[in-house]
Amino acid sequence: MKNYKMVLQYEGTRYQGWQKQESTANTIQGKLEAILTKMTGVPTEIQGSGRTDAGVHALGQVANFHIEERLVESGQLTVDGMMKYINCYLPEDIAVISLEEVPERFHSRLNAREKTYCYRVLNSDIPHIFDRRYVFEMPEKLDIPAMREAAAVLVGEHDFKSFTSNKRGKKSTVRCIREIRIERVEDEIRFTYRGNGFLYHMVRILTGTLLEVGRGERRPEEMQGILNAKNRECAGCLVPGKGLTLVEVKY
């Protein structure tokens, strides 16, 4: 079997997230697998670096898939040919931006070492029509220094059980956040998270909690107590998926 790594972009607005589901074909993974199966003539699965939620976007999602060597050796499928074929049949809001053959043991999720996400908040009472699918609107005045102080507590290796919606998970909830950057870019406040991995809804709950600090509803020094509680009810709200983008995955 030949193993291929792809980097893709998508606007997640009209999809039910990355992961394929029995109840709908309207997922990123489902769309890709249908095209790959048609291209190869056999059922073909694809593995993503992570499961982005409904409405979440990607600038640099990474995925890999295997195809039989005979299809490659016969000249039926080349890297350039496959990339053109996939992009030809993908809807206009999904695109493969690179494709390459990789070692057999490469796995887009298991081999990932670092991920970067960005959450965009429109901090203005004037709507931005052309950005409305990519930002969460919050016009209230926000205390950026207080949010940065709170974010500093969250950087490092911690048990982030309070910051996930997955209540039944048996796997470790310990993760390492290497950086949380909060900056104003014109009318937007952008939260950039860089870490070795993120739990289900983790970035969206972290952002919701920091925004509550920004509005004065929480104090920065409460963050350590929320971490120690290991209880989802102690953290802040889950902000909408539309403001979140998976920016990059490193290996």
CA distance 126 to 178: 34
CA distances from 1 to 69, 71, 128, 206 (A): 5, 10, 48, 41
Residue tagged active-site, from 53, 93, 131, 143: 53
CA distance 120 to 59: 14
Instruction: Give residues with Cβ within 8 angstroms of 76, minimum separation 6.
Output: none
CA distance 63 to 169: 24
- The reply to whether 53 belongs to the active site is yes
Instruction: Give residues with Cβ within 8 angstroms of 36, minimum separation 6.
Output: 44, 46, 65, 67, 86
Instruction: Judge whether 118 and 191 are in contact, CB under 8 Å.
Output: yes
Instruction: Judge whether 180 and 154 are in contact, CB under 8 Å.
Output: yes
For the chain, the C-alpha Rg in angstroms (whole number) is 20
Residues marked as catalytic: 53
